[in-house]
Copies of this chain bind each other. A is one copy, B any other.
Amino acid sequence: MTISRKEREHKRQRNEILKVAERLFARKSFHKATMQEIAKKSEFSVGTIYNFFKSKDHLYMQVVWKKAREIDRKLRDAIAEKDTIIEKLDNFLRAKAEFFQENQEFIRLYFMETQGVTFSLKQALNKKLYRLYDEFLRHFSEVLSQGIKDHLFRQIDPYYLGLVLDGLSNTFFIHSIILKKDIKLEEYIPVIKEIFFNGVMRKK
């Protein structure tokens, strides 16, 4: 129990550092954020941060990894929460838009500023991230398979279906973020859904 309290405290501190680091990386980019500043802003000493994370690169990785698991969790929950395919997809889009909306700074960091982390570490992170993403897509495709079985969707590799819906939504949401506008859910989601479901061809 004492250990458990210690552990809880340890985790709390670790998260505090990650939170500050995320904000600083996002605002100033990986290279312009210094360990000194992260230390000062998080009210720990540099040495203490090095007890939690063995290098600046590792700290960065953990920031990204934490966010990646967060969105993974959110999207899986969004899908699980609903019963019908259509509702699941709706909820997926809503949850994703919400995450992008709330994490604009991070998204910008993640998509734009990964320059500067040691290459091999980045690859390791990528592999891990890629595996997480791939697993999500596999999970997603199982859900979508059901749509095929139900004769809702046409015979298309369900992995691709997931990739497409994810890619389409990224396209619109990131477009928003770059324009520094709020994500207009009510405008984008119907377009995404319409195109995803019906394509662009005119039905004869």
Contacts and interface: CB of A to CB of B under 8 A. Distances in A.
Contact of A129 (B113, B118, B170): B113
Interface residues on A, range: 35 or more
Interface in A83-117: 108-117
A198 B201 contact: yes
Kindly report how many copies of this chain are found in the complex they form together.
Answer: 4
B170 A125 contact: no
A117 B29 contact: yes
A43 interface: no
Given A161-B200, A167-B167, A156 B116 contact: no
Contacts of A32: 116, 118-119
A175 interface: yes
A201 B152 CA distance: 6
A200 B166 contact: no
A121 B174 contact: yes
Given A164-B195, A171-B166, A202-B152, A30 B116 contact: yes
B200 A153 contact: yes
Contacts of A44: none
Contact of A164 (B28, B152, B157, B171): B171
19 contacts: A28-B119, A30-B31, A32-B119, A113-B125, A115-B167, A115-B170, A116-B166, A117-B174, A118-B171, A121-B174, A151-B202, A152-B202, A156-B194, A156-B200, A161-B200, A163-B175, A167-B171, A170-B171, A197-B199
Interface of A: 25, 27-32, 64, 108-119, 121-122, 124-126, 129-130, 133, 147, 151-154, 156-157, 160-161, 163-164, 166-168, 170-172, 174-175, 178, 191, 194-203
